[in-house]
Amino acid sequence: MIAIVNYGAGNLYSISKALEGLGAKVKVTDSPEVVKSADSIVLPGVGAFNEAIKNLTRLRLVPAIKKSIESGKPFFGICLGMQLLFTESEEGGSTPLTIKGLNIIKGKVRRFKNVKKIPHMGWNQVRCRKEVPIGKRLPNPSWMYFAHSFYPEPRETEVIAATTDYGMKFASIIWKNNVFGTQFHPEKSGMDGLLILKNFIKIDQKG
């Protein structure tokens, strides 16, 4: 069973229906116990970083998420859900203050600067830098759907599995052990996006 974490800031309907349509058994939940008992976890996201962290903390989901990741369960963060995995974010903080994240992936989430338009919204190319389990049989480059004003800047560049160019290159797929993340929305990205979700479903606890 895939637990889709409901913390009040997720695109829950689209991602749950996409996974169910691919044959997965899913449960949308805000229960730490359900998250800990699930076979794998999806952390979706539409909203603000600061509010999301507050909600995860209030619902006592942070320890459950970290314990699940430490146990080796496949974990997938989508858009804001991926950004929450990082050490800190500029979103919601007043310079030079930042908001602390889950610190699963070392690095910072930064706001776009000197680009044509914010937010970055619509279709853009994703270019894989290395083979990644959720990217099996994915065209390179592929086209995915984005909707964000902030981007991840990993401290460890080896976690960057794919990049996208929007006036600057940023990490659009990250991968570290059993943790995966996409800055784009695979559930809104047509057949290529569904292929990513299908690949995630097939990943067992050994990766």
Residue-wise pLDDT tens digits, 23-63:
999 999 999 999 999 999 999 988 889 999 999 999 999 99
Report the topology of domain 2-202.
Rossmann fold (3.40.50)
In the chain, where the domains are located? 2-202
Sign of the alpha-carbon dihedral angle for 86, 90, 91, 94: positive
Residue of 79, 88, 91, 120 with catalytic role:
79
What's the pTM? 0.94
Q: What is the pLDDT of residues 83-120, one digit of tens each?
A: 999 999 998 655 556 789 999 999 999 999 988 899 99
79 carries an active-site annotation: yes
